[in-house]
Structure 1
Amino acid sequence: MTVTTTAITSTSAPEGRRRTLRTPFTAAAGRGYLYFLLVSVLALVGVVYLFVTGLTSGLLLITLVGIPLLALVVLSGRRWNALYRLLARLVGVTIDPPAPFARQASWPQTVAAALTDGVGWRSLGFLLLQSIVMTPLGYGVVLGVVISAVLVVSPVIWAITGEAIVSFDEPVDSLGIYLLLSAGGLLALYLLAWVMIGIGRAHVWLAEALLAPNDRDRRVGELERARADVVDDSVATLRRVERDLHDGTQARLIAVAMTLARAEEQLADPDKADRARRLVSDALANTKDTLTELRDLVRGIRPPALDLGLVPAVQTLVARNPIPVELVDDLAVRPSLGVETLAYFCVAELLANVSKHSGATQATVRLHSDADELRITVADNGSGGVEPANGSGLTGLADRLRMVDGRLDIDSPAGGPTTVTAVVPSGAQR
């Protein structure tokens, strides 16, 4: 084992060094040079922009015109934000966009919101910082590249024109010196390439830090999306309940009422008592079917078995599952009612996936809870290769879990086994 490891290291290390040395000649590096050039030009544009807008806004602040003008300047930071995020894609980096600016009900409120827009101020701060740094830095590096490129072709220029283009106190008039200068220019270009790559990476890192939403903004965005999902899910549930009641239960109750009305008419005639009894029997059967539908409908909202706790409710799922399922429970703390309901439907969804898609012959459900979280693990010995986007319902389940700050982890290599873990806050404190 030692000999094998040494052999791999001895062959891979030189290859890694060669790959590193070739970095400035790759296509990705070429995009990095273009990125460096563009941000250097934009740095100069940014200096002019900040100077003009800052001076104009400052001079006009004593008038009413200066306040909305300053608000526009702050909002313009979002345009710069979008521009630099677009440039970052040039080097393969995607920066998440900030939350959009929300216009207020009135013009004064909109101006006030613009003046306090954190994204705009942060973007202007990035523009100021990168302009101050990149203007001299970009100028110096670009100038160095131009001088180095001239040195590289200096022997050709000297040979064609016969005029010295380099002077050290006196003009250089020697092919040997020009060849040395050309070699030095090549080395300088190589080193400057690494400088541009390094500066570009640092610039992208700074852009990600200042232009992307911060943790607070991300959290607010997630909560807003979760709230919208909850509202949509609630509306869909209400529509489903309304449809089931209208198309199913209500129709059956109407049929029962009509049957009983006909039976009442038949009872008025002693000769039709047998027919009346049949009508009452049909109404009774229809009533039983209606009660079954109502129980199924209620179970779809909150299963009655949850009144006894999560474990007894999951036991009913395990018992009805066509594949043998082992239930292992370790619920030290009972979750809140809402979390129990979510956990129940989570287990139901996962067991349904196991039965329909996995080809498994055995599954295990593990429930664990403490004061902080509830962990649900469903494992099977099926074929594996589970993908959330293949129509298994895992995408919707993950969205519902995110509504309550939960998550869904999937471990399903091709060939199996598959382990799906859902983690949600237990809500026991509530």
Structure 2
Amino acid sequence: MDAVTTTLMAESDWTRTLSQPLRREAWRTYLYFLLASALAVVGVAFLFAAGLASGLLLATLIGIPLLALVVMSGRAWNRLYRSLARLTGAEIEAPPPFARPPGRLQTVAAALTDGVGWRSLGFVALHSVVMTPVGYGLILAVVVCASAVASPLVFLVTGQAFITIGEPIDSLPIYLLLSLAGVAGLYATGWLMLAASRFDVWMARSLLGASDRDRRVGQLEKARADVIDASAATLQQVERDLHDGTQARLITVAMALARAEEHFAASDVGRARTLVSDALANTKDTLTELREIVRGIRPPALDLGLEAAVATLAARNPLPVEVSVDLAVRPSLGVETMAYFCVAELLANVSRHSGADHATVTIRSDPAELRIVVQDNGSGGVQVGTGSGLTGLRDRLAMLDGQLTVDSPDGGPTVVTVSVPPGSDR
């Protein structure tokens, strides 16, 4: 039964592959090929005219701004080709936008050195060089093959030989053979168009999309913004806790002591002692709140190191937790704090949602990476973004250039891996 199923699946794959030039997706790619071939010719004319005008006027005051405008036009070509590539189902990531500085001279200078604009013009040139002859050749092949396919019908309708191969052909069987050859030619041309389109989209993705450097800069900018937002949120929370809790308790203590002083002055010692006792109780509660606030910023347990802090977390967890820590390199202060809160949140998820009866925490570090692995024997099925709290944890790790991966098949076990640069050099 397995062998039969495998054979049927193999035949289905071959059928799908052979029918690819006839599928609906292929027709959108053919449209892309036609439009891209037409744009290749337009690109040749544009580059020639723009280059000639810029070269002739470069010695004048108009030439430099004109060249800057030509470079910036590359971004327009970029948007056009990225939109066109969607016909093939490809999605090309947009490059970073042009950062226009203040002042006209600075804007012209920035435009002249715009890497995205120059890369886009380079793609237009390369695309024109490749797609002009390829497009002309394949479109001509389609016309010839289509004429061969229609040749028997034309011959029957007109009764005249309109194809000449050395001499005019006036035989219907030969026209029928030519029609079959035309069908085969159209099929082969379809494959060539698909291949040429894929190559062209690959060039577009390489030259028009965001580069690795652009992506890295974007990630760092987002991480910086997240750090600023997280810091502001933390400060706001601390301010709210101090204002609504600690400050209110201290005011109550001060008022109680003031009233106690009045009672002592009036020789009402019993009432004064009661007020002092209440003030003392409020003071203890205030100290407890302050400890909680401080623990939310940086747990005091981390003063003894990450290993001792994680061991304390494991001891407080309602489930048995096995801890293994090997820190060849001690992380930086920020990374160590983030690692502590990662373990705390992951263990909280295990105890609340997993249905597990056991968990393990493994922490390893080297000069390149701090790796945290939290595993449980629960029911599994954990996914990022399904209310497990892992989305926020992943976003916070991104602030430190870290990553979070989850392996949680249905039925378990669940393995959550956190990797982050240790920052020991900072």
Common fold: TM-score over 0.5 = yes
Letter matched to residue 248 of structure 1: G
Point out where structure 1 has 5 or more consecutive residues left out of the alignment.
none
Find the counterpart in structure 1 of residue 327 from structure 2. 331
C-alpha distance in structure 1 between counterparts of 2:254 and 2:99, whole Å: 55
Q: How far is the alpha carbon of 1:324 from its aligned partner?
A: 2.0
Aligned partner of 1:134: which letter?
A: M
**Distance of 1:343 and 1:361 partners within structure 2:** 23
Counterpart of 1:195 in structure 2 is 192
1:233 paired residue among 207, 230, 248: 230
Q: How many residues align?
A: 426
2:303 is aligned, of 294, 302, 307, to: 307
Q: 1:209 is matched with which residue: 206, 210, 218?
A: 206
CA distance in structure 2 between the partners assigned to 1:35 and 1:137 by the alignment? 14
Q: In structure 2, the residue corresponding to 1:329 is in which secondary structure? A: strand
Would you say 1:140 and 2:140 are equivalent positions?
Answer: no
- Equivalent-residue separation in structure 2 for 1:419 and 1:134 (angstroms): 49
* 2:348 aligned with 1:379: no
Letter in 2 for 1:94: E
Once residues 390 and 258 of structure 2 are traced to their aligned partners in structure 1, the CA distance between those partners, rounded to angstroms, is 49
- Determine the C-alpha separation between the residues in 2 that align with 1:317 and 1:180: 81
> Counterpart of 2:156?
159
TM-score norm. by structure 1 comes to: 0.96
Superposed displacement of residue 195, structure 1: 0.2
Are 1:50 and 2:44 matched, yes or no?
A: no
Equivalent pairs: percent with the same residue? Answer: 65
d(CA) in 1 for partners of 2:353, 2:96: 39
For normalisation by structure 2, the TM-score amounts to 0.97
Deviates more, 1:317-326 or 1:201-210: 317-326
1:397-420 deviation line (CA, Å, top 9, x unaligned): 112212222111110112211100
Residue 339 of structure 2: aligned partner: 343
**Corresponding residue of 1:360:** 356
- Counterpart-to-counterpart distance in 2, 1:352 and 1:237: 21
Residues 107-126 of structure 1: pairs in structure 2 closer than 5 A: 107-126=104-123
Structure 1 residue 203, shift from structure 2 partner: 0.8
Say which is worse superposed, 314-323 or 102-111, in terms of deviation: 314-323
CA deviation string 1:131-169 (max 9, x = no partner): 111111101101110111111011011111112220123
After superposition, give the CA deviation of every residue in 1:270-289 in whole Å (9 maximum; x if it has no partner).
1x211111111111111111
Moved over 4 A (4+): 4-12
Q: What are the superposed Cα offsets for residues 81-108 of structure 1, whole Å, 9 maximum, x if unpaired?
A: 1111112222121111111110102111
SS at match of 1:142: helix
- Which of 264, 282, 303 is the aligned partner of 1:267? 264
- What CA distance in whole angstroms lies between the structure 1 residues aligned with 2:43 and 2:379? 57
Q: Deviations over 1:195-227 (max 9, x none)?
A: 001111111111111111222221111111111
The amino acid across from 2:422 in the alignment is S
Which residue of 155, 160, 178 maps to 2:175? 178
1:150 pairs with 2:154:
no
- What is the deviation of 1:425? 1.2
Q: Distance in 2 between matches of 1:228 and 1:139?
A: 50
d(CA) in 1 for partners of 2:262, 2:348: 49
Provide the alpha-carbon RMSD of the alignment: 1.5
Which residues of structure 2 form unaligned runs of 5+? none
